[in-house]
Amino acid sequence: MRFKELSIHNFGPYKDLETIRFDDCDGVSIIWGDNGRGKTSIMNAFNFVFFGEVKNRKGDLHDYISFINEEGAAEGNYTYEITLTVSDEDKTYSISRSLELMAGVRVPQTNEDVYPVLTVNEDGFIVESGKAEHIVKSLLPKEVARFFLFDGELLQEYEELLNDRSPNGATIKSSIEQILGMPILTYGAADARKAYDKYSTEATRVAQNDTNTAKYANQVARLKAEREGHEGEIEKLKKERETQMAEKRRLEKEMQDTEKLRSYLERKRTIEATIKAKEEQIEAEQDSVLKLLESAWTWMIVPTVQRELDVLNATVTELNTKQSQAASQRRIVAYIREAVEGIQCPVCQHKPTEEERSLLSEKIRRIEAGTSDLSSEEEVTLQKAKARMDVLKRFNVFGSSQEEIRRRCETIDDLRVDISDLRDVQLAELLSDIKAISKDRDADDDPMIAVDLHSRCEREIGILEEGIRAEQARIEQIDGDIVKLNKKIQGLSSNKDVLLANKRLGFVEGIQSIFTEAVDVYRDMLRENVERDATELFLAMSDEADYSGLSINQNYGLSIMLRDSGRAVPNRSAGWEHMVAFALIGALHKNAPFEGPIIMDFPFSRMSTKNKRNMMKAVPMLSAQVMLLVFPGEIDPSTTRQDIGRSIVQECTLQRITATHTHIERSDYNG
Amino acid sequence: MKNSLDDLKATLERIRKEKYPSIPDAVIEEIVSVQMANQDNPAKRQAETIKVIDRYAALIKSEESGGDR
């Protein structure tokens, strides 16, 4: 199967008719899109067109109305359509699945108001609905979809292949064998067995009519009846085993949910404590601001106060200057007087003459005449001015508080934003998740009960499997006895009808044996091939010299082998798990009887830059057509183009028109 | 890139040739085709497989009538 064109209309963020065309040449299409632009919606478009399912983040598969484009709905368009054109062998199919409104519904409120409609066009002719479903199922059986529509977020499930008792592992193994074509042999053998039963019944009937062989034919008939009883018992045991396995899966989910619920509740407590601490911090900041604002009224008089302060300052400065000048002059006069009245100058120890004394006295007189100290009024004025300044300065402090108030208010705003993020986003999402997990649980559920029940389930399953094996062993014994009796009948009878019936029975038995024996031979061969091809891919991606390759188990689980010890790597990391799953998918595609394109969403989660680059080089080896849905930053565009440029056939970008409207823009890539 | 049932058919043919050479290869091929074409419809798959087997079994005649396959 090859893709030729995908078109999407009014689905997810794709309001308008958007088309992705695939060239006839093999290669990789890269679809670049930021988070929320519609990469997973493209994956869902494939799910919808092939299987009539759309998967939301909660895992619901039929929430159709949630995928109606918001803007389209606002304009009254409540339907959507996905069309995929493919070629398979020499035919071209156009598969369209649309969402339609139930009769009488104008605006759908629930998913019961809508229904999907499939139409298939084969080489230009519309086919009837039964054949349409058959064509779609043949192109991509749902059981193997996981290997074609690859969701990187589900990679860890492949690790369950390493666990022989895992129910999920058994499901994946079944899917793997389906893609490898095993059902052709297993069902071929089962259907040939049904034919054998029919011919065996006929041979027994005919032999019962021959007196030579009637006795043995009757024994065969009795053994067949006994066999039927054992087959019925096996069916019963298998049904019971299925019930137990379903219960085991439910309990495992419950235990996982309990663990998850515990961690959610812990996280809820942490967030609530953080909110409380921030609220207390806001209160403290508010108290501080209120305290500062107690003197806020003073800002009104600051200009007046400042003017008054300026005037007082000038007065004080003037009076202080006068006072200090007077003091300075008095000190000079004292020195001169000491020289006049004393024996010598106190500074230079010179003994002044009479004439000099006379001059100095005159100087003293002149200085004293020009010096005036503060008058008593001026003294009072100076004291009063200083006192008044002290008082007025207290009113001026508010100016310096403004900055602090502003800073604290900003802190309060930031804290409020933090609280809003925590409460309205993180806590709200968490409560929604808690509600989803808790809705089916009893408040009194004891997690240990689930653990006990799980152990009991496992024991039951073991007992049932033992029972099935015992019944199968008995059936094999009966079959052996029947074969012996039939041989005896053939030897004893000369009746042509008996001989013919046995001849035909032998013929059908031969067909059944061919298919039955082929199951084990082919399965072993497939496992060898898958191991070889997965190892080749894995080593092409890995640069860990200590890893020698991969080793496969009965469930197609792959272990990484250490070169030196020959043992499997224990507890491998999520990144290596990813790489092994990649290798497995590539190997399965290489060995599958039918091929098809691979679409990968979020293919490189948890990979280091170096490993991503290595994996990228292996992408063209996975299938003839590969489509990658990646966000910028998930892989490096320039190194990608450098490494696999020759294999890239197109790049498209999911362009934002609005938050709910995306356009797909293609850029042709010429390597 | 592998795109056929070659390995699967080769396995069946090898077993047929070595151990059940009297079984014609054509019946095995037809059963494989029926199985491939009806994977999504178990009832039809089984019915068609039995029809194929019936058709070839009917060609087996008794030695008295001389119409052995």
Q: Express each pLDDT in A142-174 by its tens digit.
A: 878 888 888 776 666 676 676 666 667 777 788
Q: What per-residue confidence (pLDDT) applies to A616?
A: 87
The minimum CA-CA distance between A236 and chain B, rounded to whole Å, is 20
Chain B residues near residue A517 by CB distance under 8 angstroms: 15, 19
Cβ atoms within 10 Å of A370's Cβ, excluding its own? 8
Residue A8 has pLDDT above 90, yes or no: yes
User: pLDDT, tens digit, for every residue of A537-568?
Assistant: 999 888 888 999 999 888 888 889 999 988 98
The minimum CA-CA distance between B18 and chain A, rounded to whole Å, is 10
Cβ atoms within 10 Å of A129's Cβ, excluding its own? 12
Integer Rg of chain B from CA: 14
Cβ atoms within 10 Å of A128's Cβ, excluding its own? 8
The minimum CA-CA distance between A589 and chain B, rounded to whole Å, is 8
Confidence at A283, pLDDT banded by 50, 70, 90: very high
Chain A residues near residue B13 by CB distance under 8 angstroms: none
Identity of the highest mean pLDDT range in A135-139, A304-308, A409-413: A409-413
The partner residue sitting opposite B28, judged by closest CB among A137, A191, A514, is A514
Residue A460 has pLDDT above 60, yes or no: yes
Q: Of A53, A41, A78, A50, give the one whose Cα is nearest residue A662.
A: A41
For chain B, what is the mean pLDDT? 86
Query: CB distance from A297 to chain B under 8 Å?
Result: no
- The predicted model gives A321-347 an average pLDDT of 84
Q: What per-residue confidence (pLDDT) applies to A601?
A: 84
User: pLDDT, tens digit, for every residue of A430-454?
Assistant: 888 888 777 766 655 666 788 888 8
Chain B residues near residue A192 by CB distance under 8 angstroms: 31, 49, 53
Query: CB distance from A335 to chain B under 8 Å?
Result: no
User: pLDDT, tens digit, for every residue of B44-59?
Assistant: 999 999 999 999 999 9
Q: Do the chains contact at A184 and B2, CB–CB below 8 Å?
A: no
Closest chain B residue to the Cα of A1, Cα to Cα:
B3
The minimum CA-CA distance between A606 and chain B, rounded to whole Å, is 29
Confidence at A605, pLDDT banded by 50, 70, 90: low
Closest chain A residue to the Cα of B32, Cα to Cα:
A184
Q: Do the chains contact at A513 and B54, CB–CB below 8 Å?
A: no
Q: Would you give the distance in Å from CA B41 to the centre of its chain?
A: 19
> Which is it for the CA torsion A277, A281, A282, A284, positive or negative?
positive
Q: Do the chains contact at A594 and B3, CB–CB below 8 Å?
A: yes
Q: Is A266 exposed, middle or buried (0-12, 13-18, 19+ CB in 10 A)?
A: exposed
Query: CB distance from B8 to chain A under 8 Å?
Result: yes
CB A223 within 8 A of CB A485: yes
Residue B68 has pLDDT above 50, yes or no: no
Q: What per-residue confidence (pLDDT) applies to A440?
A: 65
Rounded (5°) CA angle A448-A162-A169? 70
User: pLDDT, tens digit, for every residue of A105-117?
Assistant: 999 999 999 999 9
Cα–Cα distance for residue pair A432/A600, rounded to 1 Å: 29
Closest chain B residue to the Cα of A502, Cα to Cα:
B62
Residue A628 has pLDDT above 80, yes or no: yes
The partner residue sitting opposite A511, judged by closest CB among B39, B53, B62, is B53
Chain B residues near residue A515 by CB distance under 8 angstroms: 12, 31
CB A208 within 8 A of CB A221: yes
Q: How many helices (H) and strands (E) does chain A have?
A: 16, 14
Q: At what angle do helices A447-492 and A214-293 cross, to 10 degrees?
A: 160
How many residues would you count in chain A?
671
Chain B residues near residue A504 by CB distance under 8 angstroms: 57, 60
CB A389 within 8 A of CB A313: yes
Cα–Cα distance for residue pair A615/A636, rounded to 1 Å: 12
Residue % of chain A over a pLDDT of 70: 95
Residue A25 has pLDDT above 90, yes or no: no
Confidence at A181, pLDDT banded by 50, 70, 90: confident
Residue A587 has pLDDT above 60, yes or no: yes
The minimum CA-CA distance between B4 and chain A, rounded to whole Å, is 5
- The predicted model gives A124-151 an average pLDDT of 87
> Which region, left, alpha or beta, applies to residue A602 given φ > 0 means left and ψ of -120 to 50 means alpha?
left
The minimum CA-CA distance between B30 and chain A, rounded to whole Å, is 11
Identity of the highest mean pLDDT range in A261-275, A342-356, A357-371, A566-580: A261-275
Q: Do the chains contact at A595 and B49, CB–CB below 8 Å?
A: no
> Which region, left, alpha or beta, applies to residue A74 given φ > 0 means left and ψ of -120 to 50 means alpha?
alpha
Task: Give me the residues of B, 50-69, that contact A with CB < 8 A.
Answer: 50, 53-54, 56-57, 60-64
Q: Do the chains contact at A195 and B8, CB–CB below 8 Å?
A: no
Chain B residues near residue A518 by CB distance under 8 angstroms: 8, 11-12, 15
Confidence at B2, pLDDT banded by 50, 70, 90: very low
Confidence at A334, pLDDT banded by 50, 70, 90: confident
Q: What per-residue confidence (pLDDT) applies to A3?
A: 94
3-class secondary-structure state, position A94: strand
Q: Which tokens is A117 given? A: 């409609």
Cα–Cα distance for residue pair A337/A242, rounded to 1 Å: 126
Q: Do the chains contact at A138 and B20, CB–CB below 8 Å?
A: no
The partner residue sitting opposite B20, judged by closest CB among A503, A513, A593, is A513
Q: What per-residue confidence (pLDDT) applies to A332?
A: 87
Looking at per-residue confidence, does A312 or A603 come out higher? A312
For chain A, what is the mean pLDDT? 88
Task: Give me the residues of A, 482-501, that contact B with CB < 8 A.
Answer: 496-497, 499-500
Looking at per-residue confidence, does A594 or A670 come out higher? A594
- The predicted model gives A277-291 an average pLDDT of 94
Best A137, A148, A504, A522 member to test B by mutation, with max B CBs in 10 Å, is A504
Q: Tell me, what's the ipTM?
A: 0.93
- The predicted model gives A615-642 an average pLDDT of 87
- The predicted model gives A319-331 an average pLDDT of 91
DSSP designation for A569: P
The partner residue sitting opposite B7, judged by closest CB among A496, A507, A525, is A525
Q: Do the chains contact at B11 and A525, CB–CB below 8 Å?
A: yes
Q: What per-residue confidence (pLDDT) applies to A162?
A: 65
User: A26-30, A53-57, A509-513 — which is least confidently predicted?
Assistant: A53-57
- The predicted model gives A289-318 an average pLDDT of 86
Chain B residues near residue A185 by CB distance under 8 angstroms: 8, 12
The partner residue sitting opposite B32, judged by closest CB among A141, A188, A529, is A188
Query: CB distance from A91 to chain B under 8 Å?
Result: no
Q: What per-residue confidence (pLDDT) applies to A441?
A: 66
The partner residue sitting opposite B39, judged by closest CB among A138, A185, A198, is A138
The minimum CA-CA distance between A25 and chain B, rounded to whole Å, is 14
Alpha helices, DSSP H only, in A547-594? Answer: 574-591
Chain A residues near residue B5 by CB distance under 8 angstroms: 181, 184, 593
Best A511, A529, A533, A621 member to test B by mutation, with max B CBs in 10 Å, is A511
